[in-house]
Each structure stands twice: as C-alpha cells, then as structure tokens.
Amino acid sequence: GASTATGALAATAVSTEMATAAASTASTAATPVAMFSSPARSPATASSRYSRIFAIACSTGGPQALAQILPALPAGFPSPVVIAQHISDGFANGMVDWLSSLCKLPVRLAVEGDLLQAGVIYISPSERHFSITPARRVALLERRALDLYHPSCDVLLSSVADIFGRQAIGITLTGMGRDGAKGIARIREKSGMTLAQDEATSVIYGMNRVAIEAGSVHQVLPVESIAAA
C-alpha cells in the first residue's frame, strides 16, 4: 500500500544521501550547539554514570542534520546519544564509519546487551529495532513483516521515555512519514524535554511536523540551533 511504499522510500532515500552530506560537510565547519554543552569529561572516565540521555529520530535528510549536530559534541561529553535513522539494510555500518570520521566522540552500531556509556553515540542497526532496557542496556528487537519503518524511531524514543523520564531529551529531525511522533509525545508525557527541527531547514518536513502539530514539542528550532534551548 501507499504507507508501505512511503516507509521503503524513506529508508532507500537515506541510503543514497550520505555522499551528498559528506560533500557538504567537508567544506563546512560544524556549528556549535549549546544545549549539548556541559563540563568536559576525560574520555577515560566515560561510564554509565550520567544524568541525561539524548535520543534522536530522523529519516530523509537525517545524515545532513546529524553532520551539523554531532561533530560539535566535545570529547568527554557527559551523556549517551542514541539515534534511530531510517536506512536500508546493509548501510548502517557505512553511516557509523562516516559519522566516526566527523565526530570527536566514538560512534558505534548498537549491539545487544551493550551498557550505555556517557560520551558515546549509538546508531541503530537497520535490521532490528533499537530499545533501552531498565538496566540501561541495548535491546535489539526483531522487525515484523508489517513494520512500516526501520529502525523504528517510536520504539527507541518510547523506551527512552519509560526508562529515563525527565532525564530524557528527545529530538525529532527531518524525515518522511510520522515515525517518532508517538515517542516524542511519550517523552513529553514523562516530563522530558522535546525539540524539533523547523520546516525551513528540513529536507522533508514530515516526522517533525507531525510531532509539532500534535503539541508534543517544547521548542522548534533550525538545525544549527537545535540544541540551544
């Protein structure tokens, strides 16, 4: 049906846009993002001790947006960053490698059972849904045949909301469809902070628009200011 086609198109589009994003970021310095600014920690002290977690949902246009936000995070950043980016099977490892080349922080593909650590960026694999357990470990869930989006932004953000409550910061970026809107609403319900990329800087004003129109977003900002609130 049309909805299934939308999900497949979103994942496929993302798989072809990383080269474009890489070209644009090669000559453009990352814009500092104030919300992520915290006292620097030594990378050697990265651990499961942290007071906040950042959860990001994105689809089409997501790589470009992430390439503006993530490289500005300092070494020793005191929180984990977990990301669900719609992407076709087989491309997640390439995205991890590409972001690793841009970022000061380690970028990892989320692995079943990993204990979340401050100062690490975790990317969901495309073949499974990414969620967080009460023990603050990675849980990878099987995709169902009828799942529209992969990996699911709603699965990740909802688990972050339920485990971290007011410690959660949920961010919905550019993307096709409506995935992530339920997760953003859940974070707000649990007293977390919610942000959305604005229409002007979005490649596709879809996922973020749905969350904004639902009244689930505290602040709507251009991508270069997404963390300044």
Please report which residue ranges of 33-180 form alpha helices under DSSP H: 62-69, 92-102, 153-164
- 155: helix, coil or strand? helix
User: What is the value of pTM for the model shown?
Assistant: 0.83
Supply the pLDDT for residue 41.
45
Q: Angle at the Cα of 112 (from 48 to 161), degrees rounded to 5?
A: 60
- Which CATH architecture is the domain 2-33+45-225 placed in? 3-Layer(aba) Sandwich (3.40)
Tokens of 125: 């694999």
Supply the pLDDT for residue 148.
77
CB atoms closer than 10 angstroms to residue 77: 26
Tokens of 167: 């410690």
Active site residues: 59, 86, 179
- DSSP lists the bridge partners of residue 170 as 55, 194
pLDDT in tens, the chain (229 residues): 544 444 555 555 555 566 556 555 544 433 344 455 544 444 444 466 798 999 999 999 999 999 999 998 889 899 999 999 999 888 999 999 999 999 999 999 999 999 999 999 999 999 899 999 999 999 999 877 667 778 999 999 999 999 999 999 999 999 999 999 999 999 999 999 999 999 999 999 999 999 999 999 999 999 999 855 4
Helix, strand, coil tally for the chain in percent (to 5): 40, 20, 45
> How far apart are the C-alpha atoms of 225 and 35, rounded to whole Å?
9
